[in-house]
């Protein structure tokens, strides 16, 4: 790297530390790396170094960066309608996007509420569930049931259903609503499901059925709460239990939607449909922020029939045409590219490439599903040590807690996957 490039990078980081507050960081983030540009599955730092991206920008850039199909769609949309309020007005990009989402979503969902981010999509899902029971004259149904090890977002309603002990928000426990938590699914993805795996949830559902508005969980893959993969049959039994007790079922597909697990949605592994479904992250291919909450007719009809007869939520940038155009381009790519084959290949390469970590001291488990590879450690990592070490290996990996994981773009090549896995294993061996 040149001296000038290195100096520009250092200067930018120093300016940042004076005024910027980064996610999950103290007021002055450390370590911090300046980015110059992105292309495909690579990140170019301002100091001239190039990294293979193992994070897909927090799991959103599924087609890689600067994909020409998405960029062309954005440029075309800029020429006609970059943004317009969605209250009382409508436009083709939003309507067609809602139609397309319903076409590919699990059966039974019939209406789409567009919003800004994954946390808000889950927030809307929770609000819809509560308003459903208020509209039916059942205000006592004001609690949620979920499982330990989950993660659903950083807003107050979503924090309240994240893992209450080992999650990122246990600090706020005393000021959050009090919901119900059952044991997380203990059956691995490849295991046979047994009734004992859901016994605790079933018991809580029976005892608290008249208090519970909905069960909410991430289908098949628990994301930031633990990167745990569990048996699809668990979801089929959960659907039966919710129907039996007349409780709504919410699937949070923010992380699992649009192919990450090897199917279009996590729910597709089980052939199960929820009453409410939240989508986000990779909806626009990681280009612009956009999310959606999908709802079944029996839920929306109940809200329409009650007071005030309208869903009481309205984001300023709801249905943003630019974001909708990016989403259409991303869906076009999912229809025309061999993403399914790529994800299957990436799964095999992640499983093989991370396997050496299973023999290392301090490693509790190694697992892979779809384009997700996880090395679970026995103790949390020291980010100030391992983050620069990953950069020195030429890869971008952002662990949290005990989890060192990879979620690369679907366009990542075999050589790039090998660099990610070998670099990750080297750092784990050296510093854990």
Which positions are annotated as active-site residues?
24, 151, 252, 281
Quick check: bond before 308 cis, omega within 30?
yes
Q: Which residues pair with 252 in a beta bridge?
A: 278
Q: How far apart, in whole angstroms, are the C-alpha atoms of residue 162 and residue 7? A: 41
- In 3D space, the residue among 206, 239, 251, 213 whose CA is nearest the CA of residue 133 turns out to be 213
Q: How far apart, in whole angstroms, are the C-alpha atoms of residue 227 and residue 207? A: 29
Query: Rg for the chain (alpha carbons), in Å?
Result: 22
Bridge-based pairing state of the strands 248-252 and 212-217? parallel
Q: How far apart, in whole angstroms, are the C-alpha atoms of residue 384 and residue 32? A: 10
Our CA angle for 177, 242, 114, nearest 5°, is 65
Q: How far apart, in whole angstroms, are the C-alpha atoms of residue 102 and residue 109? A: 7
Asked if residue 245 lies in contact with residue 203, where contact means CB atoms within 8 angstroms, the answer is no
Q: How far apart, in whole angstroms, are the C-alpha atoms of residue 211 and residue 261? A: 33
The count of C-alpha atoms lying within 13 angstroms of the C-alpha of 423, restricted to the half-sphere facing its C-beta, is: 25
- DSSP per residue, 283-352: GGTTSS--EEEEEEHHHHHHHHHSSS-S-----TTTT-HHHHHHHHHHHHHHHHS-HHHHHHHHHHHHHH
Q: Which residues of 395-419 are buried (b: 16+ CB within 10 A; e: fewer)?
A: bbbbbbbbbbbbbbbbbbbeebbeb
For the chain, the straight-line distance linking the first and the last C-alpha, in angstroms and rounded, comes to: 29
262's torsion region: left (phi>0), alpha (psi -120 to 50) or beta?
left
Give the strand order in the sheet containing 403-406.
Answer: 363-369, 372-377, 403-406
- Helix residue spans in 116-251 (DSSP H): 118-135, 156-159, 199-207, 233-244
Give the strand order in the sheet containing 109-115.
Answer: 109-115, 291-296, 276-279, 248-252, 212-217, 143-147, 180-182
DSSP-derived letter for residue 185 is P
3-class SS of residue 146: strand
């Amino acid at each position: 790297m040149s001296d000038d490039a290195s100096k520009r990078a250092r200067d930018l980081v120093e300016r940042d530390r004076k005024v910027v507050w980064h996610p999950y960081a103290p007021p002055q983030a450390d370590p911090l790396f300046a980015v110059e540009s992105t292309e495909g599955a690579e990140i170019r730092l301002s100091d001239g170094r190039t990294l293979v991206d193992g994070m897909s920008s927090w799991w959103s850039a599924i087609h890689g960066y600067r994909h020409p199909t998405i960029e062309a769609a954005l440029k075309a949309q800029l020429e006609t309608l970059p943004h317009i309020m969605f209250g009382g007005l409508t436009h083709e990009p939003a309507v067609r996007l809602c139609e397309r989402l319903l076409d590919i979503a699990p059966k039974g969902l019939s209406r789409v509420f567009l919003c800004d981010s994954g946390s808000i999509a889950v927030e809307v899902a929770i609000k819809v569930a509560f308003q459903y029971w208020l509209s039916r004259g059942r205000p006592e149904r004001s609690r949620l049931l979920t499982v330990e090890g989950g993660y659903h977002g950083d807003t107050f309603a979503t924090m309240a259903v994240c893992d209450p002990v080992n999650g990122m928000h246990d600090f706020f426990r005393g000021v959050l609503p009090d919901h119900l938590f059952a044991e997380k699914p203990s059956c691995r993805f490849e295991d046979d499901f047994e009734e004992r795996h859901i016994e605790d949830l079933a018991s809580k559902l029976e005892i608290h059925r008249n208090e519970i508005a909905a069960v909410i969980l991430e289908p098949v893959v628990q994301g930031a709460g633990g990167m745990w993969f569990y048996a699809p049959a668990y979801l089929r039994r959960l659907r039966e239990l919710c129907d039996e007790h007349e409780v709504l079922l919410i699937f949070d597909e923010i992380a699992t939607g649009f192919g990450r697990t090897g199917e279009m949605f996590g729910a597709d592994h089980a052939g199960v449909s929820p009453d409410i479904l939240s989508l986000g992250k990779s909806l626009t291919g990681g280009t612009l922020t956009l999310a959606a909450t999908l709802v079944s007719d029996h839920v929306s009809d109940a809200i329409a029939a009650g007071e005030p007869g309208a869903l009481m939520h309205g984001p300023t940038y709801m249905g943003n045409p630019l974001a909708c155009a990016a989403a259409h381009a991303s869906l076009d790519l999912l229809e025309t590219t061999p993403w399914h084959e790529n994800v299957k290949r990436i799964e095999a390469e992640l499983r093989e490439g991370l396997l050496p970590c299973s023999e290392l001291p301090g490693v509790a488990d190694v697992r892979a599903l779809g384009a997700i590879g996880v090395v679970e450690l026995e103790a949390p990592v020291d980010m100030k040590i391992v983050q620069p070490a990953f950069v020195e290996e030429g890869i971008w990996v952002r662990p949290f807690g005990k989890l060192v994981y990879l979620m690369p773009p679907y366009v990542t090549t075999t050589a790039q996957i090998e660099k990610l896995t070998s670099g990750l294993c080297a750092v784990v061996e050296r510093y854990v």
